[in-house]
Structure 1
Amino acid sequence: MAAEIVDNDSANRYEAWDNGELVGLSEYRRSANQIAFIHTEVNPDHKGEGIGAQLATVSLDEARQAELSVVPACPFYEKWIKRHPEYSDLVSAEFRKESL
């Protein structure tokens, strides 16, 4: 499934939408130079459809464009970045030493 991923910055989260239905989200806390992903969830009816991967890809690509360092405080993001090392350079140095 190709969901529409949008940054709902007023709610501090990326949202995945499919045909007007919210099917997933990734909550974050952002500062001037850093974004911490703190919680990700996908509607159980849409598990296994790649929605989490779409959320991670879009949000991390946007973090790269904005030159933000990333704190993958959410276990999903931590595991996803480990499986996709092309994003490991985004992880803040302090967090990289602890987990990646």
Structure 2
Amino acid sequence: MGSAIRDNAAGHRFELERNGHVAFANYERRGTSLVIRHVEAALPLRGTGAAGELMQGVAEIARAEGRKITPLCGYAYAWLRRHKEYRDLLN
């Protein structure tokens, strides 16, 4: 991962900043689950892989915390299904 994922706990979102623009994932920690409600990248970041890099960071955070990911967002669900190395985190 080229950029660090920041946990904005007050805003309940993980953030990745690149060139002054932000990709974020709104989340909720619920029991042993990390619920991903929405993933979005600023327009200039779309198509650059920033959202995928963000999701990789989110998956690594979930794994480090011993949590499963409950993706309510279609992008988060599709990303987890495409990356078999993280499928074990899918709740």
Under a length normalisation based on structure 1, what TM-score does the superposition of the two structures give? 0.82
Determine the structure 2 residue equivalent to 1:48. 47
- Aligned 1:1-100 pairs, distance under 5 A: 2-19=2-19, 21-92=20-91
Structure 2: gaps (5+ residues): none
For residues 3 and 43 of structure 1, the distance between their equivalents in structure 2, rounded to whole angstroms, comes to 16
Larger radius of gyration: 1
With normalisation by structure 2, the TM-score equals 0.89
Q: How many residues align structurally?
A: 90
Whole-Å separation in 2 of the counterparts to 1:47 and 1:73: 20
* Alignment gaps of 5+ in structure 1: 93-100
After the TM superposition, list the runs of 4 or more consecutive aligned residues in structure 1 that deviate by more than 3 angstroms: none
Identity of aligned residues (%): 28
AA in 2 matched with 1:15: E
CA RMSD of aligned residues (A): 1.3
Q: How far 1:3 moved relative to its partner?
A: 3.9
Distance 1:3 1:17 in 2: 7
